[in-house]
Amino acid sequence: MHPPHLTPDDFLHLTYLSWYDKGSMKKFIVRELEGSVKGLSGSFVPSPQNGICHFCHHMGAVGLFTVDVKTDTKNHNYKALSNYICQDEANCNAHITDTEKLDFLFDYVRGK
Ligand SMILES: [Zn+2]
């Protein structure tokens, strides 16, 4: 699965872009950070019940997004972080008011 070609200009009106790859069963989240395009991926399991999105704090159709972060390359240790987020990223972008939760997630994945 190759992500669409993106430039920072694509993010003028969007906080983030995301898509689901059925082949790998992973959801990809891409955003503009410090002038370049950064992405992360994780498993995504749609929830049968509506819930509050971790990113935009709105009630709606959500799914459990889990990223695995490597903590120890030698011993193949991972720590997982799971959050319920919107299934519809367009809806999510329309409601998102601050990027604090997204920032945290990206920092977490980058090991900060
Ligand atoms: Zn949302």
- Which of residues 80 and 5 earns the better pLDDT score? 80
- Which of residues 12 and 92 earns the better pLDDT score? 92
Among 88, 98, 101, 28, which residue's Cα sits nearest to residue 62? 88
CA of 51 to the centre of ligand 1 (A): 10
Task: Tokens 């193949």: give the residue.
Answer: 76
Rounded CA gap, 30 and 93, in Å? 12
CA of 53 to the centre of ligand 1 (A): 4
Which CA distances in Å does 101 have to 23, 45, 64, 69, 112?
A: 27, 19, 15, 17, 14
| Greatest CA separation for the chain | 41
30-78 pLDDT per residue, tens? 998 888 889 999 999 999 999 999 999 999 999 999 998 877 777 778 8
Rounded CA gap, 85 and 12, in Å? 22
CA of 58 to the centre of ligand 1 (A): 6
pTM of the model: 0.85
Spell out which residues have Cβ within 5 A of ligand 1, the ion: 53, 55-56, 86, 92
| Sequence ranges of the domains in the chain | 8-109
